[in-house]
Every structure is written in C-alpha cells, then in structure tokens.
Amino acid sequence: MRAPLRSIAVFTGSNHGFNPAYADSARALGREIAKRRLRLVYGGSDKGLMGVIADSVLAEGGEVVGIITRLLFELGHMHQRLSRYEVTDDMRTRKARMSECADAFIALPGGLGTFEELFEVATLTQLGEHQKGVACMNIDGFFEPVRHLFDHAVAQGFMKAEHNEMLIYHTDPSVLISALEQWQAPTVNKWIGPALKPA
C-alpha cells in the first residue's frame, strides 16, 4: 500500500512571469498544501514564484523547508522566514536533497531550472529509482508544449505511453494533490524494441 504524502517538492521560477495567473495559482497551491498539513520543500529563495508559494504556505501556518545553494545563499536570495533550511555546495546536491525530502513533485511555471528539475525527477520515476508522482500545474496551458514534446517522443519510439501518462497535468491544486495521493508507478520498463526492418 502506498504511504501517505507528507511532503511535496515544488519546482518553479525565481521570476514572476508576465501572466498574473501564475502568482495567483502559486498562492492557491500554497494554501492547499498548508490546508492538507503537507510540508513544502522548495529551492529556498524569496524571489519570484518561489517566494510567492513559500509566503502562501507560511501565511496559513504551514511548514516550509528551503534547500538553497551556497552561491544563492551568499547572494542573499534565501527566504528569511522558513521553518528550516539547508545550504548545499552546488545545484546537483540541492536537487538530490529536494528529491530525498519529498514524497511527490509539482512543477509550476518556470525556466531552465524548473524544466531540468521536472525532467530529472520524472526520469528517476521512469527508471524506478524512486516511486514518487510528478505533476505539472498547467496554468493557462503553460505546460502544453511539454505535453506535446512527450507525445512526440512516444510517437517516435523514444518513450513508452505509460511513462508519458504517468505525469499529471491540472490547473486545480486540490485535484492535482488528490491525484498525487492516488498515483501508482508504471509497471513497465523504459526500453522499447527496435522497429522491424522492411523486407
């Protein structure tokens, strides 16, 4: 039986983006995380959407754990009101610690760092190195290009449909977290046999 969720890592941007709906949805997700008494694990910054979701969880009395690199810490980017924080030597260690501390993952809109984190944890799930659900909060269709890219990878024989389908997309934070609570890991391996050669 799957263990209950206790903590969720959220990947998102250190910018706000141009669409006000991004910050509104980050706040809504933060409220839902706090309402369910889940721990937020995130990158530790007070900048952009990262700061927005941390503030939202903290405002509702929730627990927020920030994991930040030494470089960003020394640049003064760390949120000052976290429940607790860790400072790591580099980005690779930061990502590993976030993964270790979380029972599931949600990506909000962001840039290269957000995409890298999303793809890495999805890959670890695909390989069976952990059994943790991965979701995208698809605000105003932000993650539709990712969905189309994965569909294309399936169509071209680089990815199994089951691994494409394991990612959860939704705009409602309550639906998203409920889906993560019910999530089951795919039972297929990642390898696909070669295409048949023409006679």
Q: What is the pLDDT of residues 156-199, one digit of tens each?
A: 999 999 999 999 999 999 999 999 999 998 877 777 766 545 54
Token code pair at residue 3: 């263990």
Report which of 70, 50, 48, 67 is spatially closest to residue 58, judged by C-alpha positions: 50
Per-residue model confidence as pLDDT tens digits over 66-105? 999 999 999 999 999 999 999 999 999 999 999 999 999 9
- Map out the domains of the chain as residue ranges: 7-182
Q: Is 105 helix (H, G, I), strand (E, B) or coil?
A: strand
Instruction: Supply the DSSP symbol for 166.
Output: T
Q: Residue 1: is its pLDDT beyond 80?
A: no
Report which of 55, 62, 59, 68 is spatially closest to residue 23, judged by C-alpha positions: 55
What pLDDT, on the 0 to 100 scale, is given for residue 199? 47
Give the position of tokens 């640049």: 75
7-182: CATH number: 3.40.50.450
Instruction: Supply the DSSP symbol for 45.
Output: B
What pLDDT, on the 0 to 100 scale, is given for residue 2? 63
- d(CA 151, CA 57) in angstroms, rounded, equals 34
What pLDDT, on the 0 to 100 scale, is given for residue 13? 95
Q: Is 180 helix (H, G, I), strand (E, B) or coil?
A: helix
What pLDDT, on the 0 to 100 scale, is given for residue 185? 83
Give the position of tokens 């999530």: 183
Q: Give the type of residue at 184.
A: Q
pTM: 0.92
Per-residue model confidence as pLDDT tens digits over 99-151? 999 999 999 999 999 999 999 999 999 998 999 999 999 999 999 999 999 99
